[in-house]
Amino acid sequence: MTANISLGQYLPGNSVVHRLDPRTKIFLMALYIAIVFVVKSLVVFLLPVVLLVAMFLFAQVPASYFFSALKPMKWLLVFMFVINLFATQGTTLWIDWKFIHITQEAVEQAVYITLRLVLLVAGTSILTLTTSPIALTDGLEKLMSPLRKLRFPAHELAMMMTIALRFIPTLMEETDRIQKAQMARGADFESGNIFQRAKSMIPVLVPLFVSAFRRADELAMAMESRCYHGGEGRTRMRELHFHWRDLFATLLLTAVLVGIILLENLPL
């Protein structure tokens, strides 16, 4: 049982954000990222912060997910903060002690960078939290489909992503099983130095690869026997449709982006 790893981290629900078209959500994320990067001054940073809070509220995602989204990033955040604190040149010295020089500009820069990263990670997590992996790849496929004119295999790529996502839990289960089988034969994955440990993974990796190839083969066979032949002329069971809410959301975020650009560039 390896259910403790939540990959894809989709949080099923029926909020407005959940019901947005995946294409809209992908586009909105691009807008949101643009907003986060366009902001330059501390006061205006309030806007994306409010936006982030609003997204969590509308998506009905518990605040705990905000922290769990940041958790894998915590050391990067600390690192970015510290680096910017010491490495940024400035004129207004705040602290000047032995070899440590911290300027006002450095503090500002460090806060901006860290805040930007937090906003980015937490904001984009909304996309994966409210969109099922299947809907996400569907949306990506649709968005990429104009590229088909340039012989870009949009459908095939989306199908590969779907299959890869589909097999993550299967392979995790398989790993768990093989690992246990080898442990029952006295294999030890926990002790020894890094080389010994890497070597101890061979009895797990070889059967895992063998079974992954076997599964791939079987899946290909099963798809072919159901006449799968790629994207050309393929219809779908669930068509994506834009609704009014998609338009509203897009307009809202566009307005925020334009507003911020104006705020940052107008002499106030």
| Closest distance of CB 207 from other proteins, Å | 5
Within 189-228, the residues that bind other proteins by CB under 8 A are: 202-204, 206-207, 210-211
Interaction mask 76-115, other proteins, x per CB under 8 A: ----------------------------------------
Q: Is residue 180 within the footprint of other proteins (CB under 8 A)? A: yes
- Assigned token pair, 64: 């705990």
The answer to whether residues 94 and 104 touch, using CB atoms and an 8 Å cutoff, is yes
List strand residue ranges (DSSP E) for the chain, in order: 93-97, 100-103
State how far the Cα of 10 lies from the Cα of 167, in Å rounded to an integer: 16
Q: Sign of torsion, CA 145 148 150 156?
A: positive
Q: Is residue 7 within the footprint of other proteins (CB under 8 A)? A: no
Phi, psi of 4 (to 5 degrees): -75, -5
Binding piece for other proteins, criterion CB under 8 A, among 69-77, 78-86, 158-166, 173-181: 173-181
Question: Which is closer to other proteins, CB of 93 or CB of 168?
Answer: 168
- Assigned token pair, 175: 């790993």
Beta bridge partners of 97: 100
Question: Which is closer to other proteins, CB of 4 or CB of 89?
Answer: 4
State how far the Cα of 16 lies from the Cα of 247, in Å rounded to an integer: 13
| Closest distance of CB 225 from other proteins, Å | 21
| Closest distance of CB 160 from other proteins, Å | 25
Other Cβ atoms less than 10 A from the Cβ of 18: the count is 20
- Exactly one of 72, 186, 233, 267 binds other proteins (CB under 8 A); that residue is 186
Give me the residues that bind other proteins (CB under 8 A), please. Answer: 1, 3-4, 177-178, 180-188, 202-204, 206-207, 210-211
